[in-house]
Structure 1
């Protein structure tokens, strides 16, 4: 998953007057690079401009990043399905426009589990961002709009973590997602992953139950042949729980499923 945080040091000035952090004339903030030593020429090959011989603050430049975490086929003895899950952002180190989208094409050829979010993202610490915006459930079922607020970042021991709360006139919902990369070698990576969904009320038209409603877990082994493009294989266990499982049984739908997956993970 792509995580951004506040770049830079711990705010302490280096020892020595010639190494003191320079103050930018552009923004008035403390620059994240010390002033150059007297008598040491500044490289003319650097693609940045200087004002008064002082390097400007670099944390307001615009960047773009996108990652496709899941782009996979899922198969077992009952048939196959296709799933994607991706997100991307555009902005500075502190403020970003963040877009997320996921969905599944089931065995019947219908698009389901469609979740699409547009969020404003603000870095609040070195490892975590706060996000707020809207979520739209758009697929073959009824469209459901939600407001959204949550956090995303790296938890202790470098777990990728997303925790988001949603609210609408139908009630509230919550989602908790996490994954962890286990480096078997520099290129061979094992990734356990889990997603849990909760709702304050049932929505039978979308197969949602009150309380703990849905889960999607997986274990994927990828090989980063190229850093930006990695094929993978794995196994996933997903389905409904509680009231949502009862709704699925009445609709003659699969309640829980174990499938083999194979796909591609890409970023740019």
Structure 2
């Protein structure tokens, strides 16, 4: 009797193990939905990211540059805000704001649509935005956007960033940005085709993951008609700047 009871217990345990293994396999394959604590598997989240808040050492000025972004939403749908500001001698010389709706279309990739407003320099410009942002193979972060403005104006911006970790806290970030325009805009000193390139290296130390001071170097150059407009205005076509700044998020 005792022997039969032991065999029955062993059989029950085997069946439980089989069901557990089967459920685990189905979960991995996406055929079973695990029960999450609290039942909230897609909460409302938010993030504010200051990518660059830095002082640049230029030949004729020391501009203060802010590049940041923030988002609010769930896993697949988000509202994004992006800002690009440059101030020189206490005055805002460049101010660009974007408000975007973001939809996840693939793992690590979002399609974004919305509006961009360039308030500075004047005259101001307004654009519709169609963008693609995500993580490319080999961990290259890509942010690209097509802009369509009034009067048939078009522009394309491509930004690529790659991070090299020396340690868990010491990180070298390399960045490249290219801007293209469909037509000349003499009022703003922008030429058609490849207008400008900007590249930078920034070495940061993450005191905490959310806060990191950095030092680096930033290089930028104008091309084509944009370079011609710059020369006529008495500006440099090419410039290399040392930078000192902080990167933070919360």
User: TM-score, normalised on structure 1?
Assistant: 0.79
User: For residues 207 and 242 of structure 2, what CA distance do their matches in structure 1 show?
Assistant: 21
In structure 1, C-alpha distance between the alignment counterparts of 2:155 and 2:59, rounded to whole Å: 33
- What is the 5 A alignment of 1:32-43? 33=34, 35=35
User: C-alpha distance in 2, partners of 1:100/1:123?
Assistant: 18
Cα distance between partner residues in 2 of 1:99 and 1:62: 16
Match of 1:139 among 111, 117, 120: 120
Runs of 4+ in 1 over 4 A off after TM superposition: 17-21, 29-32
Q: 1:185 aligns with which of 147, 163, 167?
A: 167
The Cα shift of 1:19 comes to 7.1
What is the aligned partner in structure 1 of residue 227 from structure 2? 245
Contact 1:112–1:139, Cα closer than 8 Å, also in 2: yes
Structure 2 unaligned regions, length at least 5: 1-19
1:89-143 per-residue CA deviation (whole Å, 9 max, x = no partner) reads 000000000000102123x544233221000000011110000000111124211
Q: Please give the alpha-carbon distance, in whole angstroms, between the structure 1 residues aligned to 2:221 and 2:215.
A: 20
- Deviation by residue 1:169-192 (Cα, 9 ceiling, x = unmatched): 232110000101100111000000
- Structure 2: distance between partners of 1:73 and 1:32: 50
Correspondence list, 1:124-203, <5 A: 124-170=105-151, 171-203=153-185
Q: Which has the larger radius of gyration?
A: 2
Aligned partners of 2:119 and 2:33: how far apart in 1?
Answer: 43
* CA 103–88 in structure 1, closer or farther in 2 if over 3 Å, else same: same
- Report if aligned partners of 1:110, 1:140 keep a CA contact under 8 Å in 2: no
> Between Structure 1 and Structure 2, how many residues are aligned?
228
Give distance in 2, aligned partners of 1:18 and 1:217: 47
- Give CA-to-partner distance per residue, 1:32-56, whole Å, 9 cap, x none: 52x59xxxxxxxxx5x1xxxxxxx3
Question: Does 1:207 find its partner at 2:213?
Answer: no
Matched-pair contact (CA < 8 Å) for 1:112–1:141: no
Which ranges in structure 1 are unaligned for 5 or more consecutive residues? 1-13, 22-28, 37-45, 49-55
TM value normalised by structure 2: 0.85
Change in 2 beyond 3 A, CA 1:17/1:87: closer
